[in-house]
C-alpha cells in the first residue's frame, strides 16, 4: 500500500503539522521548566490568538503583517496577567503550600480554561469565524507534496519564529536566565536572577507563541470558543514525549508526533489516529518519565 | 475538632439535605424540573466519587466523566447486544468502570500532581475517542439508544436520590473506618504513612477503583434515564463541571460536592433563560475559591458558624 | 348588599369571560429544534429558523390558526443528538408545545423523535434524510422532505451516466452520511454492478482529512462523491482540490448533500467548487407553486439572502402543521396526527401528501422534486448554474463541462 510517492507525501505533511505543534509545545515546556506546572489553559491562549487575528484582520481590516504580531502580543499580555494574578502563590510562599501546590495549579488552570471558553462563547458567540488567508494561492508544490498556500506561509512564519526563540534562549541575558531558573530556581535566585520576572516572562512568551499558532491556523481551522482543546492535548503529549521542560525535546517530539500521526493514520488506523499520541503519553509517563531528552531522576 | 466528629457532622448535614430534597416533589412535580433534579443528583454522585480521590486521597484524577461514560456504555452495550435487564445492566456498568478503574489506579499509583492529571486526562480522551470512533459497535457520536426503564419522573427522582444516599452512606462508612485514616495519612504525607506501615499501593488503588465504580454506577443509571448514551458523557468539559461543583461546594468534605452539584446545576438551568452567563460565573468562582477560600462554600459556612474556634477545619 | 353581590358576580363573569378570551388568544406553541452553535451546522440551523419565522409571520398575518397566533419556541441542539433529545423533552414538558418542527440533522431527528413518540406529540422532520427515520414507523413522525433512498437512486443513475469505473465517497460519521453511503452502494449494485465503489467515513469534527485523501493522489477514481455537510464538507473539498484529486480532468466531484446554495459556500471554497456536479433540491429554474414566491420574497426581505431549499422545507414543515390544526380544529395529539396523515396541501414545492406504506416510504412525501446542476464559474449563483438534469429526466452528459 505504501508507495514511495505516498510516503514522501505523508512525511512532508507530517513534518509541517509537527511544526505547528511545536509552536504550542515549546511554550508549554517553558512554563513547565520554570514553574513545574502543566498549564491546562494552554489551548485557550491558542483560541484567543485565533480570535485576535480574525477580528483585527477581518473586522478592522488591519494589514495581515500587523495582525499577526497583534495576536502574539494579545496572547503574551494575557499570559502575563494570568501569571501575575494566579500563579504567584505557586512560589511566593512555597513553604506553607506544600502538598497543595500541584492541586492548586491544576484547579486554577483548569478553571481558567473553562472561564475563557465560556466567556468567549457568551461575549463573541459560538459561531466559527473565518480569517483571511495569508496567501491566496490554493495549491503550491512543496517537494513531492501539494499544499495550500496558507499552510506553506504559516509553516514559514513558524520556522522563523522558532529559530528566533532558539536564538533568544541561547544567547540573550533573559534567555540564559530562563534556562538557569529551569535548572535550579533557588540557585538562580541566589546568583541574582530575578526568578519572579523570569516566571512572568515565560508565561507571556508561551501565551504569545500559542496565540501565534492560533492566528496562523485560523484561516484553515476557523476560530471558535473550543478550538484550543485539540492543539492543547497534542502539546501535552509532546511535552511528555520530549521530557517535561526540555525545549529541544519538545521541538523534536513535535515533529515526531506529526510523523507518527501522518503515517499511523494511513498504515494503522484512520479512525483511531488521535489516540496514538495519548497512548504514547501514558506509556512514556509509566516507563520513561524523563521523556526522550529529559534529565533522568526527575521526581514524578 | 477531631476528624471523626467533623465527619459525623458532615454526614448528618448531608442526610438532612437529602431529606429536604426528598420532600421537594410535594411542592414541585413539574416533569422538567424533576429532570433537572435528576441530573443534579447524577452530578452529585460524580462529584462525591471524585472527592474521594481528590479531597480525601490527594489523587487528582481528570477522568470522572470518562468513568461515567464507561458505566453508561457498559449498560447500553450489554442491553443492545445481550438484551440484559436493567438491574444486571447497572451491575455490568458499575463493574466495568470499577475494573478499569482498578487497572488504571494500579498503573497511575506512582504518579502525582501534573503527571497524574495528564495521564488520567489522556485515558479519558482515549476512552472517549474509542467510543466515538468505534462506529460499528457504539454508533459513534450518534449515540446508542437504550430502552428506558420506566417513565415516571417522580420515581426517577427518588431512584437517583436513593442512589446518591447509597453512595454517601458508603463513603461515610469507608471514611469512618480505618481505611479513611489511612487515606488521609497518605494524602498528608505518603512517605511517612508508608514508614508507619500503611499499605500505600493497596489503599490508593482501592480508592481509585471505588471512585471509578461509583462514577460508573451514576453513568449506568443515567443511561436508563436518558435512554441514549453518547460519547459526550465523557467530554473533558463534563469533568470540568464535576471539578467546579466540588471546588465550589467544598473539597475534602462529605457534603461539599453534594451542595456544589445541586447549586451549580439547578442555578444553571434557572439562569438559562436570562442569557446563560452562569458558566462564566461558575468558572470564575472556581478560580476565586481555589485562590482564596480553599474549603469552598461548606468551609465558609462552618467558619461563619464557629468564629471562635479559629481556623475552619 | 344585594347590589354589591350582583356587582361581584358581574365582575366575576367579566373576569371569567376575559380569561376566556385571553385563553382564545393564547398562542399555539410550536417547538423548534435547530443548530445554533457548533459542532453542528449553524448555517443550516439559521436557514431553517429564518424559514420557520417567515412562515409563522405569514400565518399570523392571516390571523393565525383557530383564531390564535402561532408562537415558535426555539431550542439549540448544537447538532448533538443528546442535546436534541433534551431539547425535545424540554419543549414538550416545560413549554407544552403542540408539535415539533425544524430538525435538520438525521441523528438529531432519530434522538428527538423517540421523545416525541413517548409523549405522543407530532414531529415534523424538516431535513433528516436517513431512511431509518421512516423505517421506525412512528405514527407521530412526518417527512415532507428529502430521503436518502431518493438521493441514492439519483446519484447511482448519474454516476452510471458519467461512465465511471471507480468511485470513492467521503461520508460523514452520522446516520445521514453512513446511511447514504451504504444506500449508494446498494443502488450501484443494482443499476451498474461493474462500477467499483467504496466509501470512507470521516469524523465531521476533524480538521484534517489528508490521511484519507493522500492515497487517492497516485490512483484517482473517476468520481469523488461528497456526503458531508458544512463546515467539514468545505475542509474536505479544499483538501481534495489542493491535492489535485478532484475536480480534475480525470475525476468528477459529485455533491450529494446540496452544498451549493449555502450562503457561506463561496466564502469557504474557491477553485474547489468549480465544475462540481450538484444534486439539487432547489433551483430557481424549477417549476414551483405560487406560495414559493411569496415565502421567498419575504425571506429575502428579512435576511437579504436568496431563497434556498431549507427555507422551503422549513416553511412547508410549519405550514403542514397549521393546515392540519385547521382541519382537525384541535391541537390535541390524536386528531392532529390523524389530520396530518390525511394531508393534501400545496406548499412551496408542490402538493404534499404522506404515504402510509411501511419501510422507507412511511409518512414520507414520496415525490420530492430534484435536479442536477453544474457549477461552471467560481462564485456562481445557483440560479446561473446550468441544469444538466431536469426534474423527472435523466442526466444529460452532453451538457457537462469537463474540468
d(CA A70, CA A137): 24
**pLDDT, averaged across chain A:** 88
Q: What is the pTM of this model?
A: 0.85
- Count of B–C CB contacts within 8 Å? 52
Q: Inter-chain contact A10–C214, Cβ cutoff 8 Å?
A: yes
Mean pLDDT across C214-237: 91
Residue A132 DSSP SS3? coil
CB of C215 within 8 Å of a chain A CB? The answer is yes
CB atoms closer than 10 angstroms to residue A16: 22
CA distance between the termini of chain B: 7
Provide the pLDDT confidence category of residue C276 given band limits of 50, 70 and 90.
very high
Closest Cα of chain C to A101: distance in Å?
36
Q: Which chains touch A (3 or more CB pairs under 8 A)?
A: B, C
Mean pLDDT across B72-93: 96
Looking up cell 522558532 gives: A162
* Chain B residues in contact with C205 (beta carbon < 8 A): 141
Residue B80: all three cell numbers together: 443492545
Q: Which chains touch B (3 or more CB pairs under 8 A)?
A: A, C
Give the model's pLDDT for residue C9. Answer: 46
Q: Inter-chain contact B117–A38, Cβ cutoff 8 Å?
A: yes
CB atoms closer than 10 angstroms to residue C250: 13
Under 8 Å between Cβ of B78 and B275: no
d(CA B58, CA A106): 12
- Count of A–C CB contacts within 8 Å? 66
In the predicted structure, residue C391 carries a pLDDT above the cut 70: yes
d(CA C152, CA C159): 10
Residue C161 DSSP SS3? helix
* Chain B residues in contact with C203 (beta carbon < 8 A): 132-133
Mean pLDDT across B272-292: 82
CB atoms closer than 10 angstroms to residue A248: 15
- Residue B36 C-beta-side C-alpha neighbours within 13 Å: 22
Instruction: Select the residue of C81, C174, C178 nearest B230 (Cβ to Cβ).
Output: C81
In the predicted structure, residue C47 carries a pLDDT above the cut 50: yes
Mean pLDDT across B57-72: 94
CB of B170 within 8 Å of a chain C CB? The answer is no
Give the model's pLDDT for residue C103. Answer: 96
Instruction: Select the residue of A6, A147, A222 nearest C215 (Cβ to Cβ).
Output: A6
d(CA A110, CA B272): 23
Mean pLDDT across C87-96: 93
Give the model's pLDDT for residue C258. Answer: 84
Q: Inter-chain contact C82–B228, Cβ cutoff 8 Å?
A: yes
Q: Inter-chain contact B32–C173, Cβ cutoff 8 Å?
A: no
Q: Inter-chain contact C211–A273, Cβ cutoff 8 Å?
A: yes
Under 8 Å between Cβ of C35 and C42: yes
Report the C-alpha dihedral over residues B81, B86, B90, B93, rounded to 10 degrees: 10
Give how far the C-alpha of residue B276 lies from the chain's centroid of Cα atoms, to the nearest Å. Answer: 24
d(CA C387, CA C277): 10
Tell me which of C85 and B277 has the higher pLDDT. C85
In A177-206, which positions are buried (b, 16+ CB within 10 angstroms) versus exposed (e)?
Answer: bbbbbbeebeebbeeebebeebbbbbbbbb
CB atoms closer than 10 angstroms to residue A297: 8
Instruction: Select the residue of A40, A105, A282 nearest B123 (Cβ to Cβ).
Output: A282
Beta strand C123-124 with C141-142: parallel, antiparallel or unpaired? parallel
CB of B236 within 8 Å of a chain C CB? The answer is no
d(CA A100, CA C97): 51
CB atoms closer than 10 angstroms to residue C217: 16
Q: Which A-chain residues 229-288 have CB contacts (< 8 A) with chain C?
A: 230, 262, 265-266, 270-271, 273
Beta strand B144-145 with B228-229: parallel, antiparallel or unpaired? antiparallel
* pLDDT tens per residue across span A70-114: 999 999 999 999 999 998 877 765 544 444 777 888 889 999 999
Nearest to C169 by CA among C227, C89, C100: C227
Q: Inter-chain contact C38–A220, Cβ cutoff 8 Å?
A: no
Residue B305 DSSP SS3? helix
d(CA A151, CA A221): 11
Closest Cα of chain C to A84: distance in Å?
33
DSSP string covering C285-354, please?
A: TS---HHHHHHHHHHHHHHSPPP-HHHHHHHHHHHHHHHHHHHHT--SHHHHHHHHHT--EE-SSSEE--
* pLDDT tens per residue across span C5-44: 444 444 444 444 444 444 457 899 999 999 987 677 788 8
Residue A79 DSSP SS3? helix
Q: Inter-chain contact C93–B35, Cβ cutoff 8 Å?
A: yes
Q: Inter-chain contact A115–B243, Cβ cutoff 8 Å?
A: no
* pLDDT tens per residue across span A111-127: 999 999 989 988 887 76
d(CA A46, CA A63): 21
Nearest CA in chain B to A278: B122
Residue C270 DSSP SS3? coil
B interface mutation test: which of C40, C76, C90 has the most B CBs within 10 A?
A: C90
Provide the pLDDT confidence category of residue C2 given band limits of 50, 70 and 90.
very low
Instruction: Select the residue of A103, A119, A282 nearest B60 (Cβ to Cβ).
Output: A103
Nearest to C259 by CA among C277, C241, C242: C277
d(CA C176, CA C204): 12
* Chain C residues in contact with B31 (beta carbon < 8 A): 93-94
Question: Alpha helices, DSSP H only, in chain B?
Answer: 3-23, 31-54, 64-82, 86-108, 113-133, 135-138, 153-176, 178-188, 190-195, 200-226, 236-249, 256-271, 278-291, 296-305
Give the model's pLDDT for residue C20. Answer: 41
Instruction: Select the residue of C38, C210, C272 nearest A13 (Cβ to Cβ).
Output: C210
Instruction: Select the residue of C85, C93, C107 nearest B226 (Cβ to Cβ).
Output: C85
Q: Find the largest Cα–Cα distance for chain A.
A: 61
Mean pLDDT across B66-93: 96
Instruction: Select the residue of B32, B141, B227 nearest C93 (Cβ to Cβ).
Output: B32
Tell me which of C31 and A131 has the higher pLDDT. C31
Sign of torsion over alpha carbons C285, C286, C290, C291: negative
Mean pLDDT across C249-255: 93
Give the model's pLDDT for residue B273. Answer: 66
B70 vs A28, B93, C243, C256, CA distance in Å?
31, 7, 39, 36
Nearest to C134 by CA among C358, C310, C351: C358
Cβ partners under 8 Å of residue C126, min gap 6: C48, C101, C102, C103, C104, C144, C145, C310, C313, C314, C317
In degrees, rounded to 5, the angle at the alpha carbon of residue B246 between the alpha carbons of residues B241 and B250 is: 150
Residue C264: all three cell numbers together: 457561506
d(CA A219, CA C231): 13
* pLDDT tens per residue across span B170-198: 999 999 998 888 888 888 888 888 888 88
Q: Inter-chain contact A272–B119, Cβ cutoff 8 Å?
A: no
* pLDDT tens per residue across span C115-125: 999 999 999 99
Q: Find the largest Cα–Cα distance for chain C.
A: 100
In C1-14, which positions are buried (b, 16+ CB within 10 angstroms) versus exposed (e)?
Answer: eeeeeeeeeeeeee
Give the model's pLDDT for residue A93. Answer: 57
Q: Inter-chain contact B129–A274, Cβ cutoff 8 Å?
A: yes
Mean pLDDT across C272-277: 92
B interface mutation test: which of C105, C173, C182 has the most B CBs within 10 A?
A: C173
Provide the pLDDT confidence category of residue A51 given band limits of 50, 70 and 90.
very high
CB of B129 within 8 Å of a chain C CB? The answer is no
Under 8 Å between Cβ of B65 and B235: yes
CB of C238 within 8 Å of a chain B CB? The answer is no
Nearest CA in chain B to A276: B126
CB of C137 within 8 Å of a chain A CB? The answer is no
Give how far the C-alpha of residue C76 lies from the chain's centroid of Cα atoms, to the nearest Å. Answer: 16
Q: What is the ipTM of this complex?
A: 0.87
**pLDDT, averaged across chain B:** 89
Please tell me whether the peptide bond between C39 and the residue prior to it is cis, using omega within 30 degrees of 0: yes
In the predicted structure, residue A298 carries a pLDDT above the cut 70: no
Instruction: Select the residue of A102, A108, A233 nearest B290 (Cβ to Cβ).
Output: A108
CB atoms closer than 10 angstroms to residue C376: 14
Q: Inter-chain contact C244–A146, Cβ cutoff 8 Å?
A: yes
Closest Cα of chain B to C109: distance in Å?
11
In the predicted structure, residue A297 carries a pLDDT above the cut 70: no
CB of B151 within 8 Å of a chain C CB? The answer is yes
Give the model's pLDDT for residue C142. Answer: 97
Report the C-alpha dihedral over residues B259, B114, B63, A98, rounded to 10 degrees: -30
B134 vs A291, B4, B145, C82, C189, CA distance in Å?
30, 47, 15, 18, 26
Q: Which of A94-103, C159-168, C214-223 has the lowest mean pLDDT?
A: A94-103
Provide the pLDDT confidence category of residue B275 given band limits of 50, 70 and 90.
low
Per the DSSP assignment, residues forming a β-bridge with C333 are: none
Nearest CA in chain B to A87: B291
Most confident of A10-14, B162-166, C34-38, C128-132: B162-166
d(CA A179, CA C171): 49
CB of B228 within 8 Å of a chain C CB? The answer is yes
CB atoms closer than 10 angstroms to residue B79: 23
C275 vs C246, C253, C355, C380, C400, CA distance in Å?
9, 8, 37, 11, 9
Instruction: Select the residue of C203, C215, C242 nearest A138 (Cβ to Cβ).
Output: C242
In the predicted structure, residue A128 carries a pLDDT above the cut 80: no
Provide the pLDDT confidence category of residue A31 given band limits of 50, 70 and 90.
very high
Please tell me whether the peptide bond between C233 and the residue prior to it is cis, using omega within 30 degrees of 0: no
Give the model's pLDDT for residue B274. Answer: 66
Closest Cα of chain C to A6: distance in Å?
6
Closest Cα of chain B to A103: distance in Å?
6
**Which helix (H) or strand (E) element contains residue C75?**
strand C70-76
Please tell me whether the peptide bond between B48 and the residue prior to it is cis, using omega within 30 degrees of 0: no
Q: Find the largest Cα–Cα distance for chain B.
A: 63
Q: Inter-chain contact A221–C207, Cβ cutoff 8 Å?
A: yes
In the predicted structure, residue B236 carries a pLDDT above the cut 80: yes
Looking up cell 410535594 gives: B26
Amino acid at each position: 500500500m505504501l508507495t514511495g510517492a505516498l510516503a514522501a507525501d505523508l512525511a512532508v505533511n507530517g513534518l509541517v503539522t509537527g511544526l505547528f505543534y511545536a509552536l504550542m509545545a515549546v511554550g508549554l515546556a517553558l512554563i513547565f521548566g520554570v514553574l513545574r506546572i502543566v498549564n491546562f489553559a494552554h489551548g485557550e491562549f491558542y483560541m484567543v490568538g485565533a480570535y485576535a487575528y480574525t477580528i483585527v484582520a477581518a473586522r478592522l481590516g488591519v494589514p495581515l503583517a500587523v495582525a499577526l504580531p497583534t495576536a502574539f502580543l494579545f496572547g503574551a499580555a494575557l499570559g502575563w496577567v494570568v501569571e501575575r494574578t494566579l500563579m504567584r502563590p505557586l512560589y511566593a510562599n512555597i513553604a506553607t503550600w506544600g502538598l497543595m501546590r500541584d492541586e492548586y495549579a491544576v484547579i486554577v488552570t483548569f478553571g481558567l480554561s473553562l472561564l475563557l471558553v465560556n466567556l468567549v462563547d457568551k461575549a463573541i458567540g459560538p459561531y466559527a469565524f473565518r480569517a483571511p488567508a495569508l496567501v491566496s494561492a490554493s495549491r503550491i508544490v512543496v517537494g513531492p507534496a501539494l499544499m495550500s498556500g496558507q499552510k506553506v506561509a504559516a509553516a514559514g512564519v513558524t520556522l522563523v519564529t522558532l529559530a528566533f526563540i532558539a536564538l533568544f534562549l541561547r544567547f540573550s541575558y533573559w534567555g540564559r536566565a530562563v534556562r538557569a531558573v529551569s535548572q535550579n530556581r533557588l540557585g538562580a535566585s541566589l546568583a541574582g536572577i530575578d526568578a519572579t520576572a523570569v516566571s512572568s516572562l515565560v508565561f507571556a512568551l508561551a501565551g504569545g507563541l500559542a496565540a501565534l499558532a492560533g492566528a496562523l491556523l485560523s484561516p484553515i481551522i476557523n476560530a471558535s470558543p473550543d478550538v484550543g482543546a485539540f492543539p492543547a492535548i497534542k502539546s501535552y503529549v509532546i511535552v511528555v514525549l520530549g521530557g517535561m521542560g526540555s525545549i529541544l525535546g519538545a521541538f523534536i517530539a513535535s515533529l515526531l508526533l506529526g510523523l507518527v500521526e501522518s503515517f499511523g493514520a494511513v498504515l494503522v488506523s484512520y479512525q483511531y489516529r488521535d489516540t496514538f499520541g495519548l497512548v504514547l503519553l501514558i506509556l512514556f509517563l509509566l516507563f520513561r518519565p524523563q521523556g526522550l531528552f529529559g534529565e533522568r531522576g526527575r521526581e514524578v | 475538632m477531631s476528624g471523626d466528629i467533623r465527619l459525623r457532622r458532615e454526614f448528618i448535614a448531608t442526610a438532612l439535605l437529602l431529606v429536604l430534597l426528598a420532600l421537594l416533589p410535594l411542592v414541585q412535580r413539574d416533569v422538567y424540573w424533576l429532570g433537572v433534579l435528576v441530573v443534579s443528583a447524577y452530578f452529585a454522585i460524580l462529584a462525591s466519587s471524585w472527592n474521594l480521590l481528590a479531597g480525601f486521597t490527594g489523587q487528582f484524577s481528570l477522568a470522572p466523566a470518562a468513568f461515567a461514560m464507561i458505566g453508561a456504555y457498559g449498560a447500553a452495550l450489554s442491553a443492545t447486544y445481550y438484551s440484559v435487564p436493567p438491574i444486571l445492566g447497572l451491575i455490568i456498568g458499575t463493574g466495568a468502570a470499577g475494573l478499569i478503574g482498578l487497572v488504571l489506579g494500579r498503573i497511575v499509583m506512582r504518579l502525582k500532581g501534573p503527571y497524574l492529571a495528564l495521564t488520567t486526562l489522556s485515558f479519558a480522551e482515549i476512552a472517549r475517542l474509542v467510543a466515538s470512533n468505534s462506529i460499528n459497535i457504539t454508533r459513534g457520536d450518534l449515540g446508542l439508544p437504550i430502552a428506558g426503564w420506566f417513565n415516571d419522573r417522580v420515581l426517577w427522582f427518588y431512584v437517583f436520590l436513593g442512589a446518591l444516599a447509597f453512595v454517601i452512606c458508603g463513603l461515610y462508612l469507608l471514611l469512618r473506618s480505618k481505611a479513611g485514616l489511612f487515606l488521609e495519612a497518605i494524602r498528608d504525607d505518603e512517605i511517612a504513612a508508608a514508614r508507619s506501615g500503611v499499605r500505600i499501593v493497596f489503599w490508593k488503588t482501592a480508592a481509585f477503583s471505588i471512585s471509578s465504580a461509583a462514577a460508573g454506577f451514576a453513568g449506568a443509571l443515567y443511561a436508563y434515564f436518558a435512554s441514549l448514551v453518547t460519547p459526550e458523557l465523557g467530554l473533558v468539559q463534563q469533568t470540568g463541571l464535576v471539578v467546579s461543583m466540588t471546588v465550589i461546594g467544598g473539597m475534602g468534605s462529605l457534603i461539599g460536592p453534594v451542595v456544589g452539584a445541586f447549586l451549580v446545576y439547578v442555578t444553571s438551568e434557572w439562569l438559562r433563560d436570562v442569557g446563560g452567563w452562569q458558566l462564566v460565573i461558575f468558572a470564575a468562582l472556581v478560580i476565586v475559591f481555589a485562590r482564596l477560600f480553599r474549603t469552598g462554600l461548606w468551609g465558609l459556612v462552618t467558619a461563619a458558624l464557629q468564629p471562635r474556634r479559629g481556623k475552619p477545619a | 348588599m344585594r347590589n354589591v353581590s350582583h356587582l361581584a358576580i358581574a365582575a366575576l363573569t367579566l373576569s371569567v369571560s376575559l380569561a376566556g378570551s385571553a385563553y382564545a388568544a393564547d398562542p399555539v406553541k410550536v417547538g423548534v429544534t435547530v443548530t445554533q452553535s457548533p459542532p453542528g451546522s449553524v448555517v443550516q440551523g439559521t436557514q431553517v429558523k429564518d424559514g420557520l419565522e417567515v412562515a409563522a409571520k405569514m400565518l399570523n398575518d392571516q390571523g393565525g390558526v383557530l383564531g390564535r397566533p402561532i408562537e415558535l419556541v426555539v431550542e439549540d441542539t448544537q447538532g448533538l443528538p443528546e442535546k436534541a433529545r433534551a431539547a425535545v423533552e424540554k419543549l414538550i414538558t416545560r413549554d407544552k408545545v403542540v408539535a415539533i418542527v425544524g430538525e435538520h440533522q438525521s441523528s438529531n431527528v432519530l434522538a428527538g423523535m423517540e421523545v416525541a413518540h413517548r409523549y405522543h406529540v407530532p414531529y415534523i422532520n424538516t431535513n433528516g434524510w436517513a431512511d431509518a427515520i421512516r423505517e421506525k414507523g412512528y405514527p407521530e413522525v412526518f417527512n415532507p422532505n428529502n430521503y436518502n433512498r431518493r438521493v441514492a437512486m439519483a446519484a447511482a443513475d448519474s454516476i452510471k451516466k458519467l461512465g465511471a469505473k471507480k468511485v470513492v465517497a467521503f461520508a460523514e460519521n452520522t446516520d445521514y452520511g453512513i446511511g447514504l453511503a451504504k444506500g449508494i452502494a446498494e443502488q450501484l449494485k443494482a443499476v451498474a454492478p461493474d462500477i467499483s465503489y467504496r466509501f470512507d467515513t470521516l469524523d465531521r469534527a476533524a480538521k484534517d482529512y489528508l490521511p484519507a485523501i493522500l492515497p487517492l493522489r497516485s490512483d484517482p477514481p473517476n468520481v469523488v462523491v461528497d456526503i458531508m455537510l458544512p463546515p467539514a464538507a468545505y475542509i474536505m473539498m479544499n483538501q481534495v482540490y489542493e491535492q489535485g484529486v478532484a475536480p480534475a480532468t480525470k475525476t468528477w466531484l459529485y455533491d450529494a448533500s446540496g452544498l451549493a446554495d449555502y450562503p457561506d459556500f463561496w466564502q469557504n471554497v474557491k477553485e474547489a467548487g468549480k465544475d462540481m456536479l450538484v444534486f439539487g433540491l432547489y433551483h430557481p429554474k424549477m417549476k414551483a407553486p405560487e406560495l414559493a414566491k411569496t415565502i421567498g420574497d419575504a425571506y429575502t426581505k428579512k435576511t437579504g439572502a436568496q431563497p434556498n431549499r431549507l427555507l422551503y422545507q422549513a416553511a412547508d414543515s410549519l405550514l403542514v402543521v397549521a393546515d392540519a390544526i385547521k382541519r382537525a380544529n384541535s391541537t390535541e395529539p390524536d386528531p392532529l396526527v390523524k389530520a396530518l396523515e390525511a394531508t393534501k396541501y400545496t406548499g412551496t414545492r408542490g402538493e404534499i401528501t404522506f404515504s402510509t406504506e411501511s419501510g422507507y416510504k412511511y409518512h414520507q412525501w414520496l415525490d420530492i422534486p430534484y435536479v442536477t446542476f453544474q457549477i461552471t464559474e467560481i462564485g456562481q449563483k445557483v440560479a446561473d448554474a446550468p441544469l444538466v438534469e431536469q426534474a423527472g429526466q435523466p442526466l444529460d452528459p452532453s451538457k457537462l463541462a469537463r474540468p
